[in-house]
A and B are shown apart, each in its own frame.
Chain A
């Protein structure tokens, strides 16, 4: 049963990357989930458990995805571009600083999807308009979508999954992760300043004109109130997903009234096939774990709560995220570390969130993606990219784990 489950998991992952015949992401994951239950690799009640556990998580994610898209429609990301352009005055180093601030806040509050999908093109356009080399700034965006996704449960799907099984409240999660988040961003900044120093030393051409200031008040207020909603919901024992839904709903009503969106656009922003994919993947991973992978991994995951144990857990998570991908990696590791307490769960998150800056999609997916999917004309410069990852990942990971260890001591797990 383990062999069959692993085979199905590989099929799900391969198809998610390759998308044979343009099939949607759920087209293989959902039938594979049905199959593992059908052949008895996973009892029906366990599959139902998994779906019930994942349901609210993906509902939360859908609300955040819709909120981010509506913020984009409202001009929030364009305004970020204008702010970065004005703040930098065409100076590459200052622009890098403002990209770091914008990308870190965007990732933390509106999730890494928003940074990769919505902010990256804005950052490129801003650098191009200023006559600054775009590479360090675009790379900063893509790196921070991972390394700045530590702060809140909403920052990354991996966090939402861990949050559901950690037993932590929203505010406690954020409090424990604040220091690791800051340390990871600071380490990333130092690595970028060094790695791209010749690009950042380039001469400054003062911009011919400064773009007018933009302030999308409604979007900013909606996001700020959603954050307040997370804290209030957490304090009153309500699921914080409702705060995200309320924020998305407020933005949607305004967009409808102003005829800026349609139901179709909103449904597309919610990425329903992706949500079905996550449930399908969750069920297949559960089958793999229950059929023997748990015993195997228990041998490599260190026990205990000291700094070395946290470093070990984070390292295993980072390696697994690089071998397969961080989404299946977190699904595999969570059931094993959840009984060890919140410290171990958060250490897993540091590994699976910071690790991907080495290979992004995980080696398997990257190999497939480079060989089959991608047009070689526009491929990323792999040696340079890997060198940057080899500097950034160990630095951010080690710093963030020590920071987590300190937070756990000061605040308590």
Chain B
């Protein structure tokens, strides 16, 4: 979820993947009534490939999801800590070797990685329509059909929704728009930085600059090379102007978000950033971030990013995987996920579809929104991500 697969590896794998998809299996299953699927799922052991580096996320999976699946459906659930690059690389090899005996049943995936998986036919197929709990999800929401420019086609279902936000410490009057943020950086030299764009967080910051340069989000709604041709230089110019005011005068950038968080924790920089507007809460609680950390969502627009659940083509327990995914979409599981002491990230529920009690619970938990819905910007097409990755180094870093 956090990194990208090295491109040559992908190309190599794409070249050798054969043409068979896993869609037939999904079709066969979709005929079956849900009760039958639940019945078939009973007694199964399933595992989910997911990044394992966050105490809160791990706790949510181990203490909420796993016990519920055990009690309710007699499904033994375990998470396998593995990053997307590793599990994608595995699946590609397994695809090539025609190995249908996969050891993962659920994937945590989005954006670039989803596109890779879909293009290489590493996914189980279209299963979203089979899940009863899809009813709780706002089918109108653009992210249900489209994930960073890739058509979802029911091959993955939204699991969580996070906003890009900025954390400040000791700033009297923290900036609230991109314009103000750029000014703030100039007034506070050395206080700001952002991670290298090979990292999703750093890349996300540059995507905000794209929005900043664009006159309206509409301009970026679809991948538009002509727009980049015309406005690309403005994007780089903005970043080049920003660079001298950054930490170490923009000579170098943190390699990863964790490195920037550490700089922030040590007071070397006084801002950090990242997806998930609630992420600072657990970091304050565990003593990493100072107590006076303040989170700001830009009113000029903040990208909201959705991440999804999917299934690999070679799951050996598709019924149990469906049941588990269905549960993870339920209001109960989504509300538990909001709990800041565990994970504390945004839900994907349609507030009109849930019961009034649940709605109250959600509203109590979310409290005052960091980013009001009207300020949320759609995530950009993944090809913009590539464009940033391909050019940033040369346009910004080497121009110093």
A interacts with B: no
